[in-house]
Amino acid sequence: MRHFDLSPLYRSTIGFDRVFSLLDQAAGPEGTTYPPYNIERTDENTYRITVAVAGFAEPDLSIEVKETTLTISGGKKAPGTAPKLEILHQGIAARAFVRRFQLADHVQVTGASLENGLLHVDLVREVPEAKKPRVIPIAANSQAKVIEASAA
């Protein structure tokens, strides 16, 4: 039901076609909504992804970064000797999942923590000095200095 028309943005931006196509894919109906997540901007260059992983422990979760893709996956390990329980009502989803996020250039994962059923993944954007904008001084129209040499 949620569909955003990004066509007005195409008129005023150049070179962001890939970003808009990723947004279109993310908003598409084929995307899954489990588990729910938030993306927060905590500072100018720091971000945090929070994923609701109630019922999962640290050994059940996996975080992997490959090039510009962050993959968070979870799955319950099969219990070896635990007795099978008869569940009368199951309202807590504990199914396996894989959630992928496309990271922008120069975004690095700095850490992850699990607290109160929420998995927090911290990210930082570190732009190299060579990629940062530089101010180029403009030289005034100056005459070249001429040094006179005395004839011997």
39/50 Cα distance (integer angstroms)? 6
The CATH code of domain 35-79+89-129 reads 2.60.40.790
Please report, for the chain, the start and end positions of each structural domain, with discontinuous segments joined by +: 1-31, 35-79+89-129
Residue with tokens 């975080």: 63
Taking only the tens place, the pLDDT of each residue in 39-84 is: 988 888 889 999 999 888 999 999 999 988 899 999 887 665 566 7
Taking only the tens place, the pLDDT of each residue in 84-119 is: 778 888 787 778 999 998 888 888 899 999 999 899
Percent of the chain with pLDDT over 90: 28
**In the structure, what pLDDT confidence band is assigned to residue 147 with cuts at 50, 70 and 90?**
low
CB atoms within 10 A of CB 113: 10
pLDDT at 33 over 70: yes
For residue 18, give the DSSP letter: H
In this structure, which amino acid lies at residue 39? I
CB atoms within 10 A of CB 50: 14
130/118 Cα distance (integer angstroms)? 37
